[in-house]
Amino acid sequence: MDKIVIHGGARLKGELQVLGAKNAALPLQCAALLGEGPTTFRHVPRLSDVQTMNQLLVGLGCTVEGDRTLTIDPSGVQDGPKEAPYELVKTMRASVTVMGPLLGRHGFARVSLPGGCAIGARPIDQHLRGFEALGAKIRMSHGYVEVKARRLKGARINFDLVTVGGTQNVMMAAAMAKGTTVLENAAREPEVQELAIVLGKMGAKITGAGSSTIEIEGVDNLHGIDHAILPDRIEAGTFAIAAAITGGDLLLLDAPSSHMHAVLAKLEEAGAECRVEPEGLRVIGPDELAPIDLVTRPHPGFPTDMQAQMMVLATLARGQSVITETIFENRFMHVPELCRLGADIHVNGNVAVIRGKARYSGSIVMATDLRASACLVLAGLVAEGKTEIRRVYHLDRGYETIEKRLRKVGAKIRRYHGAPS
């Protein structure tokens, strides 16, 4: 397996291009299943999760061509198996998002139950409740869930909790249902808004995306389109923290600042300068970081996908910080690895108390999940000596060639292939 080696202490300075959003790309790939004719997406990030979704779509009968510019033709799905197998779902939970479009357009889908994952169980009960309200019959057997309906009918659906995947999945199913569907307590994330924009371009009638109530008036047919995916706010936030903790000066080209208010507010609270410029977002690190307190919340609150990265900043600040995780129950798995490098973090349930001014000392650390991988890279950038990060395949799920891009702005970082796990 690959490993990444970092020699810390370099100040980052220069420009970094923010690429297309992973959390938008995956549901948009699924949305292509709804169209009659090919759909082309531009600014697609070259990530292992995107490749996994492509494999799933090909298995369903789609033709998929390209990478940065990706064209998906779903015309072969009609005679395909309409099944998402365990081998792919276990690799990437977003695979379950094919259920909505398959059910909405073809009336049937069979998807492996995803089970748990490293950062906590993320059940799909809200997805299934939504499909059932639309008139689908649901059957579970042998580790798979089957959803079936001759044609879905519009309904009023109130999610028990805010669910991004559930909102997206049910939205796609309802796009071709008969009548009007209202989703209440819907997720408000920019990626939900992006999906609504794409479905609208395909011919769907959707209003309210970005609010907690989304209304979908079903249509009979949708068509293929051409669409450029919005930039990745989590990638931009990760690079912004890299600038802040290294005392750097980075211009993040095309950073979606309007979707990053909660993250930018905490960076500024910590002392970083965040300035929106015509080409993107400039972040300048302070001489000394101030402590921060934060609580992860659904959008527009502080994103759970930025919690691990912001914890690195907190460990370097003067004084005590408190981070409360309310989204995923196991999303502090990076804490032992940060402590191994020299952090002082105490966890009690879903609350982490961080005593700052850590002096990181390079060592061998193990990545446990995608965002934990990113936080270890950040820690390595400021550690004394050499930090070696293993299991970096997690990193490749959400950050395209991060080592090459950071090296261009001054980081001493390299990837080594075939390293032992």
As annotated, the active-site residues are: 117
Look at residues 58, 71, 63 and name the one whose alpha carbon lies nearest to residue 28.
71
Please compute, for residue 127, the number of CA atoms within 13 A of its CA located in the half-sphere on the CB side: 28
Is 158 a known ligand-binding residue?
Answer: no
Does residue 345 have a known ligand-binding role?
A: no
On whether 125 is known to bind a ligand per the annotation, the reply is yes
Cα three-residue angle 333-339-344, rounded to 5 degrees: 115
Closest CA to 174 of 188, 184, 161: 184
Tell me the C-alpha to C-alpha distance, in Å, between residue 175 and each of 74, 253, 346, 381. 17, 34, 46, 46
Token pair of 255, please?
A: 């950073």
Half-sphere exposure of 260 (CA within 13 A, CB side): 28
Q: Is the peptide bond before 300 cis (omega within 30 degrees of 0)?
A: yes
22 annotated ligand binder: yes
| Residue 354, annotated as binding a ligand | no
Minimal CA–CA distance to 224: which of 52, 25, 28? 28
How do strand 39-42 and strand 35-36 relate by DSSP bridges?
Answer: unpaired
For residues 254 and 219, is the Cβ–Cβ distance under 8 A?
Answer: no
Q: Which residue, 218, 236, 210, 202, is CA-closest to 170?
A: 218
The answer on whether 93 is annotated among ligand-binding residues is yes
| 8 Å CB contact between 298 and 327 | yes
Is 114 marked as a binding-site residue?
A: no
Q: Is 209 helix (H, G, I), strand (E, B) or coil?
A: strand
Residue 278, marked binder: no
Binding positions? 22-23, 93, 122-126, 305, 327
Binding positions for phosphoenolpyruvate? 22-23
Binding positions for UDP-N-acetyl-alpha-D-glucosamine? 93, 122-126, 305, 327
